[in-house]
Amino acid sequence: MQRCLMTIHAHPDDEASKGAGTVAIYHDASVRTVLVTCTGGEEGDILNPAMDRDDVKANLAAVRRGELQAAAEIIGYDEVVMLGYRDSGMADSPANSDPRSFAAAPLDEAVGRLVEVIRRERPQVIVTYQKDQSWYPHPDHLKVNEISEIAFDAAADPDLYPQAGEPWQAARLCYVRWSVKRMRATHEKFLELGMESPFTDERMARVLASEERDQAADSNRLPIVIVDVSARSNVTREALLAHATQVDPTSPFWFGLPPEVSDALYPFEEYEVARDVTGIDPSGDDLFAGADAAFAGGRSHG
């Protein structure tokens, strides 16, 4: 059976900024790659001045869908699935109360939609967002985690969502992480080159505090997988640029360093393994480690 990697993201452009290199690496290794995007990104700000035009604003959802397709092709996704909800905007914004929004969607309904996709695509590995998102508590990002956690179990339960297809048990649920090591290395490289860092003192204080928490973590810490993406380190940059409305090509945060310097800084992407049913230590450098031998590449129930 072909391996399948599924990633679940909130908005168009999230797939580019979080784990794009990993998806490209696995796609190149003949793993089927599936992107689930939960909203259309209708509430996103236009951050690129060149795209701040009336025609773009009037058709932002369609424009962002086109950007998503372009970015997905660059990364190497075999399938893009839109879960069908409207962007909820930030907490307490008017968009939150829109009945079409992801935040307002009944939990059972949203989980059911995701269960149907999981059962159809049969991924061994599912990548989603962390539970702790205190650093950026966007309602849509929080709900991505919530429905992913529930759907991981529900997809395997034949008594739940019987209309959604044959039950399927994924082997592993992983959280994609913002790499503290990469952020610190980027900040230090700006300073080394005599350039102004886009990381403010306040932001670096948070980075260092996060680093200290990681170092002090006890034995209950979730297993970590670190994927070497050096062979496709250009993918994140190219996929981000495909999101022309959301990403300013002059942004010092994303593009302030020369590409060859940025790519070589820390060419790794990090994941926490939140759930694992293989019984094998998942720590290491491969999201699929042990899944084939212990789980026969995934299994269905029914």
Does 8 have pLDDT greater than 70? yes
Give the C-alpha distances (Å, rounded to integers) separating 145 from 141, 187, 195, 232: 7, 29, 37, 27
pLDDT digit string, tens, across residues 81-117: 999 999 998 888 888 878 999 999 999 999 999 999 9
- Beta pairing, strands 32-39 & 224-228: unpaired
Look up residue 185 and give its two tokens.
């290395």
pLDDT digit string, tens, across residues 49-89: 999 999 999 999 999 999 999 999 999 999 999 999 999 98
User: In the structure, how many helices (H) and strands (E) does the chain have?
Assistant: 12, 9
Distance CA 236, CA 73 (A): 12
pLDDT at 97: 79
Task: State pTM to two decimals.
Answer: 0.93
pLDDT at 207: 73
- Reported as a pLDDT band with limits 50, 70 and 90, residue 229 is very high
Domains, the chain, ordered by start: 4-178+267-300 (3.40.50.10320)
Higher-pLDDT residue of 152, 201:
152
Distance CA 301, CA 126 (A): 18
| CB-facing half-sphere around the CA of 104: CA atoms within 13 A | 16
Beta carbons of 5 and 171 less than 8 angstroms apart: no
CA 285 to chain centre: 18
State mean pLDDT over 252-264: 94
Percent of the chain with pLDDT over 70: 93
